[in-house]
Amino acid sequence: MSNVQFGRKASLIVSTGTQGLDLSDFRFTFRTTNSDAQTPNTLYVRVYNLSPQTVAKIGTEFGTVTLQAGYETGNFGIIFQGSIKQTTTGRERNVDSYVDIWGADGDEWSNFSVISQSIVAGQTPKQVITAITGAASSNGTPPIKFADDANGLIAGSAAGTAQALSRGKVLFGMSRDYARDWANKYGFRWSIQNGQFVLVPVTGYRPGEAVVLSSTTGLIGVPEATQDGVRARALLNPLIRIGCLVQIAQSDINQITTQQQGLSYSPAIATVVTAAGFYRVMVAEFSGDTRGQDWYVDMICLAVDVSASNQDQSVAAAG
């Protein structure tokens, strides 16, 4: 492996506002599920041997959880940030107690935000989606902010050249439903990642460098082409985000040819595997143990054609 993937590093902080509690020095295990499925990402973390006083603060005095992971001499960053939804305490053995923390990312906006607003004639698609995400909910749910690259993606897509609304319209209902309708109309998938509203073109990807995955840069085992996409496992890397590009050599991927009525064909390979090796991350599940072996990211990726896009096509090594 690359020397920049040496020396694991992790940070676990529970907080509310400017007050926080750093649990990084304790042993903890974690598992996150991140996807572009327009449903909240989730976190499960088990922290060992906390004092009863500290346990009592988690989920009551402190309601936000931030998990960062990576390497002491390499990439290190946030892989989950969200609200604490549930805690459980217990013991694995007489000398080892634990507290389990379940967290969700953006679930308040996704599940509870209701928009009640009139959009006047002349509004552009960008102004419409900004109103959907930025309007205060009628039930008090806070608005959500765009990810930094969202404005550029809108400008470079069909939404950026679409005509303004010819007449006004009234928006009343779940904000997520209006966001989904807008995304379907203009060719996007949306999701909430670490508290930000992320947009990814259906046939594209988020701007930025591709993470190269090979046996020397963290790829573990052999990726496999399936009907859901290319499934791969790598050493944990915080640069791997939903919608980002990864590059895996075609020769490194197991491909399956099916047979029907005596005829061989491979319908999935043409769409799942690409000769250039560029894939968009649709699912990223991070797992780790600060005192154990686990330190992985499991991905499901979809092939994209970077030659057909004006987006950044630069490539960087994983780590």
- Transcribe 58-84 into DSSP letters: BTTTB-EEEEEEEETTS-EEEEEEEEE
How far is Cα 278 from Cα 190, in angstroms, rounded to an integer?
A: 21
**pLDDT at residue 296 in the model:** 98
Q: Who contacts 77 (Cβ-Cβ below 8 Å, separation ≥6)?
A: 68, 69, 70, 238, 239
> What's the CA gap between 307 and 205, in Å, rounded?
12
Q: What is the pLDDT of residue 307?
A: 78
- Give the single-character DSSP code of 262: T
Copy the structure tokens of residue 56. Answer: 């009592």
What does each C-alpha distance from 129 to 30, 134, 191 come to in angstroms? 34, 8, 13
Please provide residue 137's backbone torsions phi and psi, each rounded to the nearest 5 degrees. Answer: -70, 145
Residue owning tokens 């974690």: 30
**Band of pLDDT at residue 136, cut at 50, 70 and 90:** confident
What's the CA gap between 165 and 163, in Å, rounded? 7
Task: Spell 141-176 as b/e; 16+ CB within 10 A means b.
Answer: bebbebbebbeebbebbebeeeeebeeeeebeeebb
Q: Residue 240's closest CA among 296, 312, 309?
A: 296
| Count of CB atoms situated within 10 Å of the CB of 91 | 10
Mean pLDDT of the chain: 89
Q: How far apart are the first and last CA of the chain?
A: 10
CA distance 169 to 120: 7
- Nearest CA to 219 among 239, 234, 230? 234
Q: What is the per-residue pLDDT across 67-122, written as a single tens digit (0 to 9) for each? A: 999 999 889 999 999 999 999 999 998 889 999 999 999 999 999 999 999 999 99
Q: What angle do CA 258, 260, 266 make, to 5 degrees?
A: 35
| Alpha carbon distance 97, 92 (integer Å) | 6
Q: What is the mean pLDDT of residues 206-212?
A: 94
Among the residue ranges 11-15, 57-61, 112-116, the one predicted with the least confidence is 57-61
Tell how strand 210-212 and strand 245-247 pair up: parallel
Name the more confident of 160 and 30.
30
What gap in Å lies between CA 104 and CA 239, rounded to an integer? 20
The pLDDT of 249-253, averaged and rounded, is 91
Three-state secondary structure call for residue 150: helix
The mean-pLDDT minimum among 50-64, 147-161, 298-312 falls in: 298-312
How far CA 190 is from CA of 136, 224, 309, in Å, comes to 19, 26, 19
